[in-house]
Structure 1
Amino acid sequence: MDPKVAVALTLSLVGGLSTSLGALLAILNRAPNNKKLGMLQGFATGLMLSMSFFDLAYDAVNAIGFLKGNLWFFAGALLFSTIADVFPEPYCNLADESDKHVQLSLTWFNT
């Protein structure tokens, strides 16, 4: 067997087993409070974003060089920050709404 194929299969197996272990832990433990759940979701998001970033950054540095790769990265981060300031994320607080309105909204989204 080709060593690259063996490495790919092994990494896929490790990823699948890790996902299964995480699902098993989620099923066996009681439901976490909102603060802990938010912390865990933030950690998972940060981990996935950093893995994607490092993979893309490595390819960019190899393709166009260290200086250009970093300059374009920070230009993109600045552009994204500017867009996020110009178009803020909408805020919706369901706790302030009446139960009837929330039920109607949920019914509308499910149809």
Structure 2
Amino acid sequence: MLGFTGALAAGLMTSVGAVPVLFGRAPSRATRDMFLGFAAGVMLAASFFSLIIPAIDAAAKTFGDGAIPAGIACLGILSGMIAVHLMNELLPHEHFTSGREGPEAASLRRVWLFVIAITIHNFPEGLAVGVGFGAHGFEGGLPLAIGIGLQNAPEGLAVAVALLGEGYSRLRAVAIAALTGMIEPLGGLVGAGIISVSAPLLPWGLSFAAGAMLYVISHEIIPETHRSGHQNKATLGLAVGLVVMLFLDVWLA
């Protein structure tokens, strides 16, 4: 329940981030890229400090220091990256900037292709929050839930603004942006459930969730923030997001 509730709270921050679209003019592209850079920084720090390092520590308690804990972490990271890559390849979806990816899906409406794309990217975030709660309880999951929630807010704003640009009404853009965050509670439930049932899976689950998030950072978020020539602001946002998540992780956990 902690994993589900924490991931739900983080997912709801997507709708909070989209709300300003209802009341004012959308922020500039440079500002949105800086916010997305912040999201990437939060996810990057969470991947290492909240997932990969605890995965190595958990494996070391069973196998001792040496190559085995490091090997488990490496294999788990690669498995998470491969899993998200396969979802990208096998599920039809669409990005507003790069267009359609995955199998041909002419029968699907564009809005649903986009929802599938966001689902692919939000599920690993919910998984990470759930794994954090399942592995170390409230102290282990709270920094992740706060960090992922913080990065979901600019992501929700970016989705709503992109939908506005495609001709959707303000209310519908905010509603769709909010719905894209609702896959995260499912990921949280899956992650917490697997880790709670089988303790030996703990290092694998932590590193798998980290790999899934790292793939999203590299494949989607950073290229998107650099696409329009705002890489300096995006890098500033990434730096701020990274240190904020690092501070939260050390302080709260």
TM-score by length of 2: 0.23
- Bigger relative contact order, structure 1 or 2 (CA pairs below 8 A, ≥6 apart): 2
- Larger Cα-atom Rg: 1
